[in-house]
Amino acid sequence: MSEARTVPVALIAGKRRLLEGLEWRLLFLVVAMAGVTVFFGSLNRYYLTWAHFRDMGRQASLLVVAALGANLIIVAGEIDLSVGAVVGMVSVAVPTLFDLDLPMPVVVFLALVIGAAAGAANGMITLRLMVPSFLATLGSMAIIRGIALFISNQPRQVSDDAFGAVFNDAIAGIPEVLLYSVGLMAVVALFWKYSRFSLRVRAVGSSQQGANFAGLPARRIKFVVFVLAGIFSAAGALLLLGQSLTGLAVAAEGLELNAIAAVILGGGRLGGGKGSVVGTFLGALLLTMVFSGIAGMGLTAAWQLLTKGMILVVVIVFMRE
Amino acid sequence: MNSSTPQTLLEAEGISKSFGVTKALQNVDLNVRAGSVHAVMGHNGAGKSTLMNLLSGAYPPDSGRFLIQGKPIRFNSPRDALDQGITMVHQELSIVPDLDVGENIFLGREPMAAFNFLRRREVYERSQQLLKEFGLDISARTRCSELSVGSRQMVEIARAVSRESKILILDEPTSALTTREQQRLFEFIGHLKARGIGILYVSHRMGEVRELADTVTVLRDGRRVATAPARELNQAALVEMMLGHAVTETAASAVTPQGQVGFEVVGLSSKRSDLHDIIFSARQGEILGLAGMLGSGRTELFESLFGVRTFERGIIRVQGREIRPSSPLDAMAAGIALVPEDRRTQGIFSGIPIWKNAALASIHDVFHAALGFVRESNARRSAEQAVERFRIATPSVNKEIQFLSGGNQQKVILARWMMRRPRVLLLDDPTAGIDVGAKGEIHAFIHALAQEGVTIVLSSSEFAELLDVCHRILVIRDGHIVREVDPSSATEALLVHMTTGSETTPAVTQPKETGASQFPSGWNPYPFEWETYPVADDPDEAMKWWLARVADTSVPDDHPSVVLTEAEITLLRAMRPKVGHAWYDLSIPAIEGWNRFWQKGVSGWAGEALVYDHASKPDQLLLGTEAQINQGLLVAGVLSFDWIRFGESMKRLHTARIATTGVATPASAYYPPTCTCMTDNVSEYRKLALPTAVFLRSKGYSRVNAVWLVEAHPSWFSVSRQMGFKEGLDDPKVKDICKISIVSIKPVLDAGDAKAAAAAALKQHPNIHLIIMLAHQYAGAAAAVRDAGRKDVWVVASDLDQGTTTSLLHGAWPVLITYSLPIAASAYADANVMGKILLGKRVPLIVLSKGTVTTSENVKDAYVHDWDGEALPWH
């Protein structure tokens, strides 16, 4: 019988890297954020003020949370285009629920349930009816926007004081919504690094076949991912409401694209298997800073949109894995 | 259960499965015993995959049952099969590339802590332990996408075993592996058997089944044809069982066709494709094999020839017409066709009917009508003819191609190119993954085409196929054509060694016995263990070793490695040599200590020992170099320590008016066995002028001015080189390729001399591109070229023995063209030592040698060119 022999490492074609690619990327994102600050700060003094940073933090919270959901979905090898629509729907649903005189915790819970339901619907269409998620969520995006408009085609005000206290306030000068999104990011990051669930999501996204062979319930995992993404979108809607206390059916239009761009900036791979929570977070911050800078440049709406769109395309093309 | 026979792990009883009307399996029985390999063979569509899928739980059988260790079992999903200890190893597909090795091993059964958290440390510790048990030197934290295919497969198997799998199903496991990886896998399988694991091995490669399997089951058309111990089955019987009828082998006609040259490639180089100075030519009607591993440059070469890839330098000629394809359309217009490597992604267009698939390459010309319309009925008719000619199994040409079996798909691709009536057909592994029947048909077809005069270049991942089918085989490695092999005398193992560049070549340990061997039986040219010399691995070490050896005065003059054995002396005396010509050296004081050994050695056998050394003023013995070259040389009874060949060579020497008496000593005596350099110099060097011309032509020169530096001493084999080479240069065939005009001839003594002479020549004749220095002193010539910074000047060198090598170590040099001589041992030694030592110095070295001779395993940037008598391929 042959004894176990050791193969020279050279045969195994493994290349060791000093630093994982992802870490370089994080460094790049931080440097880019500094660069963006300097650039826009030199154009506009207001950009460097505390008030503006607080404002950007408030704005970023929605994108951060939406992008965390998108990261999950993308790592699982799927895509969700209904993010903005879900945010819009929940943002009008919440004021409506408050109008029914429901207490704040119940409303928040129901908001998350609505998001979960939307995610579940996306999951069902994708996984049961075997429609590629791109098409499934393209469809659901329209349907959900329709439902949102059906709930209310007017801006709806949240009148509840408790909600305002929990979402619209600031702690030590830092907007609560930003704290929530950072907190959520931290929890997700922790979970992402150490949980079995994240390992399985990466496995399913990287190789469906490999996951099957390992006996993983691939469809169930993906379904959970869709539901979670819906919940993240709903959470995003709550943060959006926290910023303005106003719900709008057409809110957060195009958010899905920004979220996907943030994921890609953070090192996510369209096609699945790869993604970073911290990277996504930084990506979302960077995008918010850039957009805010563009908005402060005094450009017309057309130019703003054009510039934003171009930046998104450039990000997706050049920063993808 | 009988306790003396190995335990039966898995039994299949009367398994049947139908898909629609197709009966994929009918009443198949099978059993797998612990610690044994059960091979399942059958050609495509025989039901192998269905059986494996049933076993791995992909779907249930219509009838019949599976028993595991005697207990009936039913699977509803792959998970069930896994739980029952059956694991299917799908060519690395079950490995998740983005996870690391440890994560992959524990995926699906992760050790858990609270909050859904993994015990990561446990994952890595246990994985590392497991890898170690299997002798895999891989870190458990390596990302799997960074592993080679072979390593991934091993990880996959290790994982299966760690899951307590008792039965492993290996489905064509070697198809994506390199030969080395295959060997590792086979070892690994032995390991698994020892652990009592039952292995079901699906393959259509006869060789490996016979090597590995204990039992073989053959399936045909969904039925079990036979189950028998592997050792009782021979290849013919197996093939017959798989096909249901005997196959008639269509072996290549032994005679290489002597037609016109149909396809020539001269000096093709491409940085991007990593191809280097590819030279070959093939006649019309010739089947030229191209043997190379994945990544050897084989596919890149095909694609370059077909215009898919661009290349920087080189000439391609199709039936004498020079082409430079910048797109496949150009190549097609010149009559080149390529059947690409990957049929699925590069060959077929799935979803499109057979006839369109076949016509696709011809719609722009053959089937072209006005206004961009296609002559559909013509195309259809051609396709129908092709279906008939190639015996493509299909009810109609309207059937979409993806529904055909691999073999039939490939036949459609062949038909696609045949419609264009190509002059040159490039086939990149055309029978990969094709069943035996279709393979035979494709071979027969290749032969038929060759008979029609098409030039065929064929590569295959199965070397046995090349040996069977081809007239000649070129070995490609790292983008170089490193060797040419005669299929009639080569073996698969030899090709494997050559293509992988294995550490040892069979020729070293056991010189190949061919008719060309010049050594009397019992004569060992290498009385040493090659391994004990530091020669090869580190040039600096080698140099040190040599110098120390020379300086070592404690080695007695009659050291056994210096003085010949009794038997050798008897042999030599029987030849009655008149003069022993011992070695001297002009240029290398470092090894002057050598001479005393030679004097001693030679006087043992020669009537008279004439020993030169660097103090013996050989220039005074100079007879007039130019005159010698032009008039020939008459030397009576001159001999060197070199080996003069018997038979034909002797006759030729006599014809060349050189009287010989015979014989040699082992040049390797005392010094590391590097080179015994001898030959019928005149005729060899006459032939060697040609590749020089080809080389220059590949650099774009059709006329070149040269300076000839002549070694100024009267040894016959120095002068006869000059004679031969001069005759070669004057050959009209050579002139036709590149006319080399000698503008000056200068005699030189040592390397310093050569350097001065070359430097002067470069000043005096700035338009020269070649310096001919057919002896060691080329080191000096080359140094002069280097100092002049002339990258457009090459040095023709020769006589690469240990002394030369030492002298080479003293300086850097530009390109050398060097000739290795057609004695297996010497050519090998030349090339090997030169390669290994020069490699460290990054010298672009071109070795021209007779094809059937083993050359260096390490000569990078080497041409190895065939010389077969006077029959030159450049007619």
Q: Quick one: residue B741, left, alpha or beta (phi over 0 = left, psi -120 to 50 = alpha)? A: beta
**Interaxial angle between packed helices A83-99 and A104-123, expressed in degrees from 0 to 180 and rounded to the nearest 10:** 150
If one counts every other C-beta atom within 10 angstroms of the C-beta of residue B137, the result is: 16
DSSP A228-272: HHHHHHHHHHHHHHHHHSEE-TTTTTTHHHHHHHHHHHTT--TTS
Chain centroid to CA A2: 54
Instruction: Tell me which H or E stretch contains B705.
Output: strand B703-711
pLDDT at B686: 66
Q: Euclidean distance between the first and final Cα of chain A, in Å? A: 45
Residues (pLDDT < 50) of chain B are 1-4, 247-254, 502-540, 542-543, 546-547, 549-550, 555-565, 568-569, 571-681, 713-716, 800-875
**Closest residue in chain B to residue A274, using alpha carbons only:** B98
CA proximity to A128, closest of A263, A220, A252, A7 = A220
B622: three-class secondary structure by DSSP: coil
CA A227 from centre of chain = 14
Q: Do B146 and A13 touch (CB under 8 A)?
A: yes
Residue B726, min C-alpha distance to chain A (Å) = 48
Largest CA distance in chain A: 80
Question: Any bridge partners for residue A170, and if so which?
Answer: A175
**pLDDT given at position A185:** 96
Residue B219 bridge partners (DSSP): B224
A65-69, A235-239, B326-330: which has the minimum mean pLDDT? Answer: B326-330
Q: How many CA atoms lie within 13 Å of B627's alpha carbon, on the beta-carbon side?
A: 6
B674, B653 Cβ separation under 8 angstroms = no
Closest CA to B348 of B433, B463, B450: B433
**Which residues of chain B have a CB within 8 Å of the CB of A199?**
99, 103, 107, 110, 118
Q: What is the pLDDT of residue B457?
A: 94
What's the whole-number mean pLDDT along residues A203-215?
86
What does the pLDDT look like over B143-179, one tens digit per residue?
888 887 778 888 888 888 787 788 888 887 776 666 6
Contact of A11 with chain B, judged by CB distance below 8 Å, is answered with yes
Q: Could you tell me the pLDDT band of residue A135, with boundaries at 50, 70 and 90?
A: very high
For residues B855 and B683, give the distance between their C-alpha atoms in angstroms, rounded to a whole number: 20
Q: CB A213 to CB B137 under 8 A?
A: no
Strands B261-270 and B794-797, sheet pairing: unpaired
Phi, psi of B284, deg, nearest 5: -65, 135
In one-letter notation, the amino acid at residue B564 is: L
- Mutation site for A-interface testing, chosen from B82, B95, B96 by largest number of A Cβ within 10 Å: B96
Longest dimension (CA), chain B: 98
State residue B5's pLDDT score.
Answer: 55
* Chain A contact set for B90 (CB, 8 A): 209, 213
Interval B658-699: pLDDT, tens: 323 222 323 322 222 222 223 334 555 666 677 677 767 766
Mean per-residue pLDDT for A233-246?
A: 93
Q: Between A and B, how many residue pairs show a Cβ–Cβ distance under 8 A? A: 118
Reading the block at residue B332, the tokens are 């097609």
Dig out the tokens for B244 from the structure. 């249901």
Calculated CA dihedral for residues B655, B658, B659, B665, nearest 10 degrees: -120
Chain B: closest CA distance from residue A282 (Å):
22
| Distance of alpha carbon B523 from alpha carbon B304, whole angstroms | 46
String of DSSP letters for B424-470: EEEEESTTTT--HHHHHHHHHHHHHHHHTT-EEEEE-S-HHHHHHH-
DSSP string, B338-357: EE-S-IIIII--TTSBHHHH
**Of the partner residues B99, B118, B135, the one whose CB lies closest to the CB of residue A7:** B135
First-last CA distance in chain B: 73
Tokens of residue A205, six digits: 């996204």
C-alpha–C-alpha distance, residues B318 and B320, integer Å: 5
As a whole number of angstroms, the distance between CA B632 and CA B491 comes to 42
Q: Is B426 exposed, middle or buried (0-12, 13-18, 19+ CB in 10 A)?
A: buried
Chain A residue closest in CA terms to B130: A4
Residue % of chain A over a pLDDT of 90: 67
CA angle B117, B118, B124 (to 5 degrees): 160
Shortest CA distance from B103: residue in chain A = A199
Please name the residues in contact with A320: beta carbons below 8 A apart, sequence gap of 6 or more. A264, A269, A270
Instruction: Sort out which chain A residues have CB atoms less than 8 A from B93's CB and list them.
Output: 207, 209-210, 213
* 3-state SS string for A88-102: HHHHHHHHHHHHCCC
B137 closest CB neighbour out of A12, A206, A216: A12
Phi and psi at residue B528, to the nearest 5°:
-120, 160
The verdict on a CB contact (< 8 Å) between A213 and B136 is: no
Question: Does the distance separating the beta carbons of A2 and B187 come in below 8 Å?
Answer: yes
Q: Where are the beta strands (DSSP E) in B130-274?
A: 167-171, 198-202, 215-220, 223-229, 261-270
Per-residue pLDDT at A209: 81
Chain B interface, Cβ < 8 Å to A? 78-79, 82-83, 88, 90, 93-99, 103-104, 107-110, 112, 115-118, 120, 132-139, 142, 146-148, 151, 180, 184, 187, 190-191, 194
Rounded to 5 degrees, what angle do the CA atoms A62, A63, A68 make?
105
Against a cut of 0.90, is the pTM above it? no
Chain B contact set for A200 (CB, 8 A):
107
Q: Which of B716, B709, B572 is nearest to B656 (CA)?
A: B716
Q: What is the mean pLDDT of chain A?
A: 88
Going by C-alpha positions, the residue among B505, B472, B502, B476 that lies closest to residue B827 is B505
Closest CA to B852 of B511, B456, B531, B530: B511
Chain A positions touching B117 (Cβ under 8 A) are 194-196
